[in-house]
């Protein structure tokens, strides 16, 4: 989806949110971030990089709008029916395991006492180069960008996040591969991912997020959700822009992407359920 389309969808959700009641009654929203690095000339238009100041503004703005940030354990207990959550509950997640999450996002989360989950690709922990799936990979070095902006986090940085009471570490596959094309590799890859997190980092309860995560393209849901349900993870997240209901499949939970052009108001419109409604309506119209 292009940036123009994403902006338009966010603004349409905001327009609906201003005139219609929230659709999030007794449901929970989850936000998805990737990079939180200072903007450079290389990634000025990177839709997956929310600079630290903007990230902090997102969190503070949502708090001012009445949102309550919850931890992953609270979410899972709510799915199990063993606890209730406050109205307007939201959880924050990060994909991939970028060093900038440890360097820039974690201190903000600590300062504001906001819990979050970081989903890590263990094959790349400690690498000095950018992730192989980063579209700007070949440009950072030539532009003199500080490696902390784009490299995977180190083992020490990952240990530091584990020691942080506001952060939960989750699995995001070992290799971040395209398992639609190679579903036979999925089980082995995820078992290696969780084995490393358990044996090398001492983790026990591990949530999961699907790489790429789009259900309609086969990156989550269906066979992959069935496979992950027996691989000893607590829950699994897609990238579908949907609120979470207690009756949802816990191995295909929705999340809303947070972009650098988002404001607290557009994020609130997503979390109030209108972006998911727009996405669903658009898919129905396209089928017609």
**209 is a domain residue:** yes
> Do residues 78 and 87 lie in contact, with contact meaning Cβ atoms separated by under 8 Å?
no
Dihedrals phi, psi of 171, to nearest 5 degrees:
-95, 145
User: Domain span at residue 147?
Assistant: 3-268
- In which residue are the tokens 């009654």 written? 25
pLDDT reported for residue 287? 40
Burial 182-220 (b: 16+ CB within 10 A, else e): eeeebeebbebbbebbeeebebeebbbbbbbbebeebbb
**171 is a domain residue:** yes
**288 is a domain residue:** no
pLDDT reported for residue 42? 85
**24 is a domain residue:** yes
**287 is a domain residue:** no
Domain count, the chain: 1
**139 is a domain residue:** yes
Q: What is the CATH number of the domain that holds 218?
A: 3.20.20.370
**274 is a domain residue:** no
**242 is a domain residue:** yes
Question: Which parts of the chain sit beneath pLDDT 50?
Answer: 2-11, 13-17, 19-21, 23, 276-288
Q: How far is CA 61 from CA 54, 66, 177, 280, in A?
A: 10, 9, 35, 27
């Amino acid at each position: 989806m292009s940036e123009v389309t994403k902006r338009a969808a966010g603004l349409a959700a905001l327009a609906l949110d201003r005139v219609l009641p929230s659709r999030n009654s007794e449901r929970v929203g989850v936000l998805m971030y990737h990079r939180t690095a200072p903007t450079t000339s290389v990634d000025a238009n990177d839709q997956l990089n929310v600079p630290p100041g903007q990230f902090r503004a997102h969190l503070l703005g949502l708090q001012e709008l009445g949102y309550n940030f919850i931890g992953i354990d609270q979410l899972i207990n709510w799915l199990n029916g063993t606890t209730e959550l406050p109205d307007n509950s939201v959880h924050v997640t990060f994909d991939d395991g970028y060093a900038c999450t440890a360097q820039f996002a974690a201190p903000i989360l600590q300062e504001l006492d906001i819990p979050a989950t970081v989903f890590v690709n263990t094959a790349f922990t400690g690498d000095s180069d950018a992730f192989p799936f980063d579209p700007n990979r070949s440009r950072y070095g030539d532009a003199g960008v500080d490696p902390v902006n784009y490299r995977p986090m180190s083992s020490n940085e990952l240990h530091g996040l584990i020691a942080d009471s506001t952060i939960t570490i989750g699995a995001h596959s070992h290799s971040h591969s395209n398992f639609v094309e190679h579903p036979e590799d999925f089980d082995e890859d995820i078992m290696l991912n969780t084995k490393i997190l358990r044996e090398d980092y001492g983790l026990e309860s591990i949530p999961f997020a699907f790489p790429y995560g789009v259900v309609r393209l086969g990156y989550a849901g269906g066979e992959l959700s069935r496979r992950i349900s027996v691989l000893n993870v607590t829950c699994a997240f897609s990238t579908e822009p949907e609120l979470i209901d207690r009756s949802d499949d816990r191995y295909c939970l929705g999340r809303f992407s947070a972009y650098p052009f988002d404001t607290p108001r557009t994020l609130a419109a997503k979390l109030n359920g209108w972006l998911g409604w727009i996405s669903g309506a658009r898919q129905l119209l396209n089928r017609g």
